[in-house]
């Protein structure tokens, strides 16, 4: 009787170790149509609550099993799905999706809302306003265009993007 229990235990142990051995770390790089890396792309496993984002160089790492589907999404780009196979490296090139862009307001808390659903007044800066200003960079073009906004340069020398303080 004890021998049968031992064999059953060993069989269950081998079955569990085989199932868990299928998980592996998937890595890769996400680029745009121009071949440049895209930072901040959401990489998620469809049907699971596992997700990550690409770093500044467009690189990502996520733990997934063979057969899982990775979903790559980014604002202004078409959502792309890739099935995890034997390869541990999956590089993805996202295509632009101009149709997906709509009016989105980013509030002071960083929450994205539809402009019509807000219960308070908002100000909008269009591309035509920035083009008319004939300024050399985005920082000086935004300065003074919206009430209560302060435009400052981030201290990190690797970032060339102006930061908006509301």
Beta partners for residue 113, in sequence order: 105
pTM of the model: 0.52
The pLDDT value recorded for residue 27 is: 93
- Looking at residues 143-166, what average pLDDT do you find? 59
Q: Select from 60, 101, 94, 62 the least CA-distant residue to 79.
A: 94
Q: Are 45 and 28 in contact (CB under 8 A)?
A: no
pLDDT of residue 112: 60
Summarize the confidence of residues 141-162 as an average pLDDT. Answer: 62
**Mean predicted confidence (pLDDT) in 56-66:** 92
The pLDDT confidence band at residue 16, using thresholds 50, 70 and 90, is low
Structural domain range at position 82: 2-98
Q: Are residues 79 and 110 in the same domain?
A: no
Cα separation of 60 and 58, whole Å? Answer: 7
Same domain, 94 and 107: no
CB neighbour class for 74 (10 Å; exposed up to 12, middle 13-18, buried from 19): buried
pLDDT at 21: 46
Query: Which single residue is written with the structure tokens 């996400």?
Result: 30
Q: Which residue has the tokens 């202004």?
A: 76
**Contact assessment for residue 42 and residue 80, using Cβ atoms and an 8 Å cutoff:** no
Q: Is the pLDDT of residue 50 over 50?
A: yes
Q: Of 98, 127, 156, at which residue does a domain stop?
A: 98
6 and 59 share one domain: yes
Retrieve residue 13's tokens: 């142990």
Q: What is the pLDDT of residues 69-89, one digit of tens each?
A: 999 998 888 899 999 988 889
CATH number of the structural domain spanning residue 42:
2.60.40.1120
Whether 86 and 125 map to the same domain: the answer is no
% of the chain surpassing 90 pLDDT: 28
Q: Is the pLDDT of residue 53 over 70?
A: yes
| Count: domains in the chain | 2
- Express each pLDDT in 25-36 by its tens digit: 999 999 998 889
Which tokens hold the place of 17? 């170790």
Q: Which of 71, 70, 97 has its CA nearest to residue 85? A: 70
User: For the segment 90-146, what is each residue's pLDDT rounded down to a tens digit?
Assistant: 999 999 876 644 555 566 555 566 666 666 666 677 777 766 766 667 667 777 777
What are the strands, taking DSSP E only, across 13-148?
23-31, 42-45, 51-53, 59-65, 69-73, 80-83, 92-93, 104-106, 112-114
Clarify whether residues 147 and 89 are in a common domain. no
| Pair 78, 120 in one domain | no
Per-residue exposure over 78-98, b if at least 16 CB sit within 10 Å of its own CB, e if not: eebebebeeeeebebebeeee
pLDDT at 166 over 50: no
- Is the same domain home to 66 and 143? no
Residue 83 near residue 68 (C-beta atoms within 8 A): yes
In terms of domains, do 64 and 116 share one?
no
**Which band of pLDDT confidence, cut at 50, 70 and 90, is reported for residue 68?**
very high
């Amino acid at each position: 009787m004890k021998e049968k229990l031992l064999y059953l235990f060993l069989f269950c142990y081998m079955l569990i170790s085989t199932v868990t051995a299928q998980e592996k770390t998937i890595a890769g790089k996400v680029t745009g149509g121009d071949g440049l890396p895209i930072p901040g792309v959401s990489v998620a496993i469809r049907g699971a609550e596992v997700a990550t984002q690409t770093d500044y160089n467009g690189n990502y790492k996520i733990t997934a099993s063979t057969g899982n589907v990775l979903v790559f999404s980014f604002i202004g780009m078409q959502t792309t799905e890739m099935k995890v196979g034997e390869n541990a490296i999956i590089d993805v090139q996202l295509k632009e999706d101009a149709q997906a862009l709509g009016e989105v307001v980013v509030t002071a808390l960083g929450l994205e809302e539809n402009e019509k659903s807000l219960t308070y007044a908002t100000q909008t800066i269009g591309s035509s306003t920035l083009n008319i200003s004939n300024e050399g960079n985005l920082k000086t073009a935004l300065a003074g265009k919206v009430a209560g906004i302060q435009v400052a340069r981030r201290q990190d020398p690797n970032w060339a993007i102006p930061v908006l303080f509301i």
